[in-house]
A and B are shown apart, each in its own frame.
Chain A
Amino acid sequence: MNTEFGPKIIVEFSNGVFITETVINTWIIMAVLVVVSIILTRNMKLVPDGKQNVAEILVGVLTSLVGSSMGKDKLGFVPYMGTLMIFLVCANLWGLVGFRAPTADLNTTFALSILTFFMIHGNSIRRKGVGGWLKGTFFEPVAVMAPLNLISEVATPVSLAFRLFGNIVGGMIIMALVYNALGTILGGVLPIPIFELGIPAVLHAYFDVFAGVLQAFIFTMLTMVFVSMAMD
């Protein structure tokens, strides 16, 4: 059994800088998303048809989601939250195509959750000023609670990152174990992978499709809830 579950290093430069599978897969997903959005929004007409309908439905769904969970006054967050959700759904489903999901790497999930962390506090300072932010974040029920509030603020990005990472990497490892186990059933007798045909599909539907889409939704939803709570 292969006991290495970290991302493979693809290119390593002489000065020790290296590029992993995660970075390359992220760039492929970014390129796909950019090309798809350029194609969907070319030659836009007043009366939409075909591909423009798809783009309008997507934008409409994301706008109403952000509007209902953050409030109508924060619709300026639609581009970031929509991009975050579409990217995370694509990244989590990337494992289905046979590549390694970029979110199965702590670097990706921590980068996104640190963005969330700075968005929470930056927007809170922008909306309430430094004094209001200090009071609202640290001294909320009573001033004695400040150390506990500090810990809970720092725990937010950590728990966001570990939740996404743990779900995706756990599914990935369980799928690898299942494939290994199915491969050993017929091991040396028949070299044709019969058992790998149908059985893993059920598990892929749960670990990749259901858990992947749900975790992308949760990550975006929690980001929206935290940011709007910090601003109100």
Chain B
Amino acid sequence: MEAITGKALILACSAVGAGLAMIAGIGPGIGQGFAAGKGAEAVGKQPEAQGDIIKTMLLGAAVDETTGIYGLVVALILLFANPLVGML
């Protein structure tokens, strides 16, 4: 068996790290589900305010998506623009 080079090791660990970074997707999933549930509840209570509720809900949902997007950015950097390989 040939020895593992340093670069191969870094690339393999980066791929694992990118996968781990996407665990961040759990948080926004729960948060957006909560926001959507509360939105449905609010529409049930006040159907006439549906437009405002949808606007507020989408704004909140897009804001709490931010943490998930940070995870995505970290994963993308590890996969496509890896800064660690250059440090060898």
Residues of A bordering B, CB below 8 Å: 3-6, 159, 162-163, 165-167, 169-170, 173, 214-215, 217-218, 221-222
Task: Give 22 CB contacts A-B under 8 Å.
Answer: A5-B76, A5-B81, A6-B81, A162-B66, A162-B69, A163-B63, A163-B65, A163-B66, A163-B69, A165-B73, A166-B69, A166-B72, A166-B73, A167-B65, A173-B76, A173-B80, A214-B58, A214-B62, A217-B58, A218-B59, A221-B59, A222-B63
**A162 engages B80 (CB within 8 Å):** no
**B80 engages A3 (CB within 8 Å):** yes
Residues of B bordering A, CB below 8 Å: 58-59, 62-63, 65-66, 69-70, 72-73, 76, 80-81
Cα–Cα, bound, A158→B80 (Å): 21
Contact pick for A167, options B58, B69, B81, CB 8 Å = B69
| A to B contact number (C-beta, < 8 Å) | 40
Closest beta carbon of chain A to B77's beta carbon, Å: 10
**A5 engages B62 (CB within 8 Å):** no
Closest to B74 in A: A166
B58 contacts which chain A residues (CB < 8 A)? 214, 217-218
Closest beta carbon of chain A to B39's beta carbon, Å: 15
Closest beta carbon of chain B to A159's beta carbon, Å: 6
Cα–Cα, bound, A3→B76 (Å): 11
- Contact A159 B59, CB 8 Å, known A3-B80, A169-B76: no
B62 contacts which chain A residues (CB < 8 A)? 163, 214-215, 218
